[in-house]
Amino acid sequence: MRLRTKSCCFPSLPKLLPVLLSLVLLSACGGGERPDDSLRIGVALYSQDDTFISALAQDLAQLAQEEEGRIGQKITLLISDSRHNQTTQMDQVDRFLARGCDVLCVNMVDRTGAAVIVDKAEAEGVPVIFFNRQPVDEDIQRWEKTFYVGAGAQESGTLEGQLAADAWNADPDRWDRNGDGLMQYVMLEGEPGHQDALLRTEYTVKAITDSGIEVERLARDTANWNRAQAAARTALWAEEFGDQIEVILSNNDDMALGAIDALSGTGRPLEDWPLIVGIDATVPAMEAVAAGQLYATVLNDSRGQAQAMLNLALALHAGEDPAQAVELEDGHYVWLPYAKVTRENLDSFRK
Ligand code: BGC
Ligand code: CA
C-alpha cells in the first residue's frame, strides 16, 4: 500500500513536505480521467508556508498512508497551495472537481467566500470539509454535505490567558517589573478577520482579568501569524517601551517565536525577558518552552484535526453516516480540544 500524491497541476507541492517529495516524483500525472478506484481527496491550503498548516498537511499525509495500509483502500491526496490568493484557490477547487476528487478539504484564504465553493461542490455531489479557517454558519448550513473541522478559538484564548495568569500569580515579583500591580502587556495578533485572531485576543485578556489581575495594554498589532513580521514589530516595541513590557501575548507560536527572535537580538539576559505565551505547540515552539524562552503554549491539535478530516472523508466516500465516524455537533461541526503545554508536561506532547 502506498500513499500517492499527484502534483502536475500544483507545482508548489514539492516545497511542501519532504515526506511527500519522493512519492510525488514516483507518481505519474493522472490527467483528467480516473486512473483507479482510489479515494481522491483534494486538499486546498491557504498557504503552505504557514507552520501550523504545513504540520497539519503533513499529519494528514502520514495518517492517510497508515489508514491505507489498515483498510486496504487506496487514498490519493492532491494538495494545492493557494498562496494567500482566493482567486487562485477557486481555480484549484475547480481543477480538483474536474479531476474527479471524491472529497474536498478546504482551508479558505478568505473565510467569507465559502458559499461559492459549497455550491460548486454540491453541483458535482462532492462533499466539502472546511478546516482551520471557519466559514460563517450560514455557508456551512447551505448543504448537508458541508462540514467544518477545527478547534474552538475562544477556548484557546482562555487557556493562554490562564497560563499567563498562573505564571504571574506564582511569581509576581519577577513579572511585575515596575511593581505597580498591573500587568503591562503587548498583543501580537493574527490575520485580521480570522476567527482565531479575533477570539484569542479577546479571551486571553478576559481570562487574565477574570483571574483578578488588572491589565494595561501598551500596544497591539497584527503580525499576520508570521514570525518575521512579529520580530520586526516586537523590535520596535522593545525600542519604544524598553523594560516596561512585562508580558507578550501572542495569538500563535510563530509570532511568539518572532518576539523571541527580537528579544534575543537585544542581548538582554533571559531572566529579564517579559513573560511570553503562544498557541499551537509547534515543534520549534516546544523547543523554546524547553529552553525557557517561551513560558508556555497551547496545543492546537493538528493531528487530531487531520484524523477527523480523514475519518469524515472515508465515511462520506463510503456513503456511511458521518456521525458514526466523528463526533458531529449540529450535524456539521467537529471540534477538537486544546490543551495547556508548559515545561512540566512538555514531554507528553513531544513526538
Ligand atoms: C493557528 C495559526 C495559523 C492559522 C492559519 C491558527 O489556528 O494557530 O498558527 O497561522 O491558524 O489559519
Ligand atoms: Ca506592572
Nearest to 338 by CA among 309, 297, 290: 297
What is the percentage of the chain residues whose pLDDT exceeds 90? 88
Task: Please give the DSSP secondary-structure letter assigned to residue 47.
Answer: -
Q: Is residue 65 helix, strand or coil?
A: helix
Q: Is the pLDDT of residue 350 over 50?
A: yes
Ligand 2 centre and the CA of 295: distance in Å? Answer: 18
AA identity, residue 335: W
Quick one: pLDDT at residue 141? 98
Going from the Cα of 146 to the center of ligand 1, the distance in angstroms, rounded, reads: 21
Cα 37 to middle of ligand 1, angstroms: 34
For position 19, what pLDDT does the model report?
Answer: 38
Rounded to an integer, the average pLDDT of 216-244 is 98
Residue 28, pLDDT score: 29
CB-based contact 107:302 (threshold 8 Å) = no
- Give the pLDDT band of residue 3 (cuts 50, 70, 90): very low
Instruction: Write the pLDDT tens digit of every residue in 197-226.
Output: 999 999 999 999 999 999 999 999 999 999
pLDDT at res. 38 = 87
Taking the C-alpha atoms of residue 55 and residue 60, their distance in angstroms, rounded to an integer, is: 9
Strand 333-336: give its sheet, edge to edge: 4-5, 75-81, 39-45, 103-106, 128-131, 146-151, 333-336
Residue 214 pLDDT: 98
Question: What pLDDT is recorded for position 351?
Answer: 75
Q: What pTM does this model have?
A: 0.91
- pLDDT tens per residue across span 24-60: 322 323 344 555 678 999 999 999 999 999 999 999 9
Q: Which of 13, 27, 155 is nearest to 92 (CA)?
A: 13
Asked whether residue 72 carries a pLDDT value surpassing 80, the answer given is yes
Test site for ligand 1: of 107, 194, 251, 286, most ligand atoms within 8 A of the Cβ: 194
The answer to whether residue 156 scores a pLDDT higher than 50 is: yes
Using one digit for the tens of pLDDT, what is the confidence trace for 256-313? Answer: 999 999 999 999 999 999 999 999 999 999 999 999 999 999 999 999 999 999 999 9
- Test site for ligand 1: of 225, 226, 251, 282, most ligand atoms within 8 A of the Cβ: 225
Residue 98 has pLDDT above 90, yes or no: yes
Residue 156 buriedness (CB in 10 A; 0-12 / 13-18 / 19+): buried
Assess contact for 329 and 80: CB atoms under 8 A: no
Mean pLDDT for all residues in the chain: 91
Residue labelled with grid coordinates 512585562: 246
Q: Are 256 and 188 in contact (CB under 8 A)?
A: yes
CA distance 71 to 58: 20
Residue 136 has pLDDT above 70, yes or no: yes
pLDDT of amino acid 37: 73
Ligand nearest to the CA of 214: 2
Question: What is the number of other CB atoms lying within 10 angstroms of the CB of residue 326?
Answer: 19
State which ligand 1 atom lies nearest to the alpha carbon of 150.
7
Residue 7 pLDDT greater than 70, yes or no: no
Atom of ligand 1 nearest to the CA of 194: 12
